Amino acid sequence: MNTSHKIVTIEQAIRLRNIWKMLSEKVVFTNGCFDILHQGHIEYLEVSRSKGNRLILGLNTDASISRIKGSLRPVVPEGARARVLAGLTCVDAIVMFDEDTPELLIHELMPDILTKGADYSIESIVGSGFVVGYGGSVETVDLVPGFSTSQVINKIKQAY
Beta-bridge partner residues of 152:
none
Q: Percentage of the chain with pLDDT > 70?
A: 100
- 35: nearest Cα among 149, 119, 143, 141: 149
In the chain, the amino acid numbered 99 is E
Helix (H) or strand (E) holding 29: strand 27-32
Residue 123 CA, distance from chain mean position: 18
Any idea what the Cα angle at residue 70 is, between residues 82 and 117, rounded to 5°? 55
Q: What would the pLDDT profile of 64-85 be if each residue is shown by its tens digit?
A: 999 999 898 899 999 999 999 9
- Judged against a pLDDT cut of 80, whether residue 129 lies above it is answered with yes
DSSP one-letter string for 91-142: --EEEEE-SSSSHHHHHHH--SEEEEETTS-GGGSTTHHHHHHTT-EEEEEP
- Residue 152 or residue 61, greater confidence: 61
Architecture in CATH for domain 4-159: 3-Layer(aba) Sandwich (3.40)
Q: Percentage of the chain with pLDDT > 90?
A: 84
- Judged against a pLDDT cut of 90, whether residue 144 lies above it is answered with no
Sign (positive or negative) of CA dihedral 4, 9, 15, 19: positive
Q: What is the pLDDT of residue 72?
A: 87
For residues 66 and 116, give the distance between their C-alpha atoms in angstroms, rounded to a whole number: 21
- Residue 152 or residue 38, greater confidence: 38
